[in-house]
Amino acid sequence: MELSDLTRHILVVDDEATIRTGITQALGKQKMAVHAAADGREALEVLAWQPAGIILLDIKLPDMDGVELLKTIRREYPDTEVIMITGYPTIQGAVECIKHGAMDYLVKPFRLDELEVLVEKARGLLEQKHAPPSLAENRDRGLDFIVGRSPAMQKVFAKIRRAAPSDSTVLLTGESGTGKELAARAIHNLSPRRDKEFVPVDCSALVETLLESELFGHVKGSFTGAHQTKHGLFELANQGTFFFDEITNLSLNIQAKLLRVIQEREFMKVGSQKRIKLDIRIIASSNRSLEEAIKAGAFREDLFYRLSVIPIHLPPLREREGDIPLLAEHFLQKYRQRGNREITGISSQAMKMLYAYSWPGNVRELEHTIERIVILEDGEIIQPEHLPSFISQRQSEFQVFSDGEYSLEEVERRYIQMILRRTKGRRQEAARILGINRKTLSNKIEKYKLRVN
């Protein structure tokens, strides 16, 4: 979401309807998009599908302590400015709120001009935070082009920052479309090698007969068609970073030669006996389990240990659901500007559908979905009917609960079956969503005679 949109979205969290209505009407006149929640649970639900730049948060909530909710918001939405609201002001309470990240606080009853002053102050702070960084700052931060503020991604960012300054080999794992190459580039951009080359190679895109020549280069006459000496990708990456994308596609022969390069930091061109010294950092990625590839005899165990000095796992999008609205807005603005289109936003109903979909293709699938909509659809706001049918029709799943009256046991049976369909029979994932362990899920599948696939 662009800064102008972020500062326009304000969330009011207060159990008093008059407070919510009053603030909504007052700020709405200033063309701000004001959302409201009566308790903490509802506030977190709203933030999941509609990020807010400014939150007005009551300290006393019916379902949780406002300060505890403040801590959660600061942890999961660190760019948000929070203004606390209290009817019982104390110095200790104010200090507690400021200590945990609140920008300021309002005392009930407050005047409209007091509210407006604090909101304007919050908008100013947001603008300072999001001011375009200089080239040097971009280079130092390196993570600006990876979108995500969920706890799962914050852990990834922390590992990237810790790993980047070293020369240790990094192994990035995760499903296709989770952003492994972006993570590799971030490590390079944050490293002392940032001013040198970053050379990625897709191990699945090159045929085995050409791969060795592409990596190591060859001398003239070393094989039929070698009409001149060629520099390999390793030489191009010297003093920089070399990225092996989907490394499990390398043959055992190339794996053996790569292991020698990592161990000895030197190589020979095809057809040459001259050793060339090499100063590179190696990063590798895989969307397959290397442990399973080792068991199948398709991957060298000694190479695995050389590569996984620093392992970093990129979570699938279904495990970072809070990032879906942020990513959707980011891709919307990206393709809207690139195609000079009129689409400016996503409706709340469409956003809920994006949020409910499991995204088996991960971030890449979400990006392609938004790009396709921006190019093909008309209108200013993305609506449910603009979404692909396999996303919008998922809403009909929930009709299993609205076509009659059922016992609690029948509702449980139908819900578990729906989750199994959503996870394509993956029991571990289904158990996680249901909040039960896998053994309990297996017992319920047997009890209700459910279809797993």
Among the three residues 285, 313, 341, which one is the final residue of a domain in this structure?
313
Q: What is the 3-state secondary structure (H, E, C) of 371-399?
A: HHHHHHCCCCEECHHHCCHHHHHHHHHHH
Position 444 in a domain = yes
Tell me: do 359 and 421 sit in the same domain.
no
User: What's residue 130's pLDDT?
Assistant: 60
What CATH number did the domain enclosing 436 receive?
A: 1.10.10.60
Task: Give 116's Cβ-side CA count (13 Å radius).
Answer: 10
- Tell me which DSSP letter residue 33 carries: E
Domain count across the chain:
4
Position 232 in a domain = yes
For 180-208, the DSSP string reads HHHHHHHHHHTSTTTTS-EEEEETTTS-H
Among the three residues 279, 313, 347, which one is the final residue of a domain in this structure?
313
User: What's residue 5's pLDDT?
Assistant: 60
User: What's residue 106's pLDDT?
Assistant: 83
Tell me: do 150 and 279 sit in the same domain.
yes
User: What's residue 132's pLDDT?
Assistant: 46
Distance of alpha carbon 327 from alpha carbon 315, whole angstroms: 15
Tell me: do 252 and 297 sit in the same domain.
yes
Distance of alpha carbon 149 from alpha carbon 146, whole angstroms: 10
Tell me: do 20 and 52 sit in the same domain.
yes
Tell me: do 252 and 387 sit in the same domain.
no
Q: Do 414 and 406 touch, CB atoms closer than 8 A?
A: yes
Alpha helix locations (H) across 65-150?
66-76, 91-99, 112-129, 135-141
Tell me: do 60 and 8 sit in the same domain.
yes
Tell me: do 151 and 225 sit in the same domain.
yes
Maximum distance among all alpha carbons in the chain?
A: 87
Per-position pLDDT tens, the chain of length 453: 454 566 778 999 999 888 888 888 888 887 788 899 999 999 998 888 888 889 999 988 998 888 889 988 888 887 788 998 887 766 566 667 777 778 877 888 888 878 887 888 888 777 766 654 433 343 444 677 788 888 889 899 999 999 999 999 999 999 989 999 999 999 999 999 998 989 898 887 666 667 777 788 777 766 666 667 677 788 888 899 999 999 998 889 889 988 988 888 887 777 777 788 888 999 999 998 999 999 999 999 999 999 999 999 999 998 887 788 889 988 988 888 877 777 888 888 888 888 878 888 899 999 999 999 998 888 888 988 899 877 876 544 444 454 455 677 777 887 788 788 777 788 888 888 787 888 888 888 888 888 776
Tell me: do 190 and 257 sit in the same domain.
yes
User: What's residue 343's pLDDT?
Assistant: 83
CA 299 from chain centre, in angstroms, equals: 29
Which residues form the domain of 433? 404-448
Q: Do 145 and 182 touch, CB atoms closer than 8 A?
A: yes
Tell me: do 56 and 164 sit in the same domain.
no
What CATH number did the domain enclosing 339 receive?
A: 1.10.8.60
What CATH number did the domain enclosing 147 receive?
A: 3.40.50.300
Tell me: do 183 and 291 sit in the same domain.
yes
Tell me: do 273 and 168 sit in the same domain.
yes
What CATH number did the domain enclosing 85 receive?
A: 3.40.50.2300
User: What's residue 186's pLDDT?
Assistant: 94
